């Protein structure tokens, strides 16, 4: 009986030590230029895409600055994966161009002005 107790104590002690050695990844912050963002629909689409992305803690898109600020865990993802994710959502990200199929599926207001897109209510210039 004492042998079983001793084995259980050793197993539990070993599990506690191995759990204490698990190290959480470093949280990093990066800013990514997203020049093709036109409106709040674009912002929402990108932020929604990253709700399910592994390793991304938060994504905030600033439409006026055309910039995304992302917080991510370096042990789970990297900046190139995040840029590729933005491109897969249909938007340019720094030097990574948008996925053509995803871009074609965007609403008209989210497309680039040269493709007939842009904000729904542009200000008229007289």
pLDDT tens digit sequence for 62-76: 999 999 999 999 999
pLDDT at 115: 84
Is the model more confident about 19 or about 113? 113
Nearest of 74, 72, 73 to residue 60 by alpha carbon: 72
Residue 117 has pLDDT above 90, yes or no: no
Question: How is 18-66 classified by DSSP, letter by letter?
Answer: HHHT--PPPEEEEEEE-TT--SHHHHHHHHHHTTSSTTEEEEEEETTTT
Q: What is the pLDDT of residues 78-110, one digit of tens each?
A: 999 999 999 999 999 999 999 999 999 999 989
Domain positions in the chain: 27-114
> pLDDT tens, 20-32?
443 567 999 999 9
* Phi, psi dihedrals of residue 111, rounded to the nearest 5°: -85, 160
Q: What's residue 6's pLDDT?
A: 55
- Report the CATH number of the 27-114 domain: 3.30.70.100
Vertex 68 angle, CA 66 and 71, to 5°? 170
């Amino acid at each position: 009986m004492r042998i079983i107790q001793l084995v259980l104590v050793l197993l539990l002690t070993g599990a506690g030590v191995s759990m204490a050695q698990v190290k959480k990844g470093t949280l990093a912050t990066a800013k990514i230029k997203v020049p093709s963002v036109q409106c709040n629909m674009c912002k929402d689409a990108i932020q929604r895409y990253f709700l399910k992305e592994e390793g991304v803690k938060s994504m905030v898109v600033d439409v006026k600055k055309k910039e995304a600020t992302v917080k991510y865990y370096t042990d789970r993802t990297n900046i190139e994966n995040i840029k590729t994710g933005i491109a897969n959502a249909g938007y340019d990200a720094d030097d990574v161009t948008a996925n053509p199929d995803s871009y074609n599926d965007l609403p008209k207001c989210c497309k680039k002005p040269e493709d007939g897109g842009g904000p729904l209510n542009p200000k008229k210039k007289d």
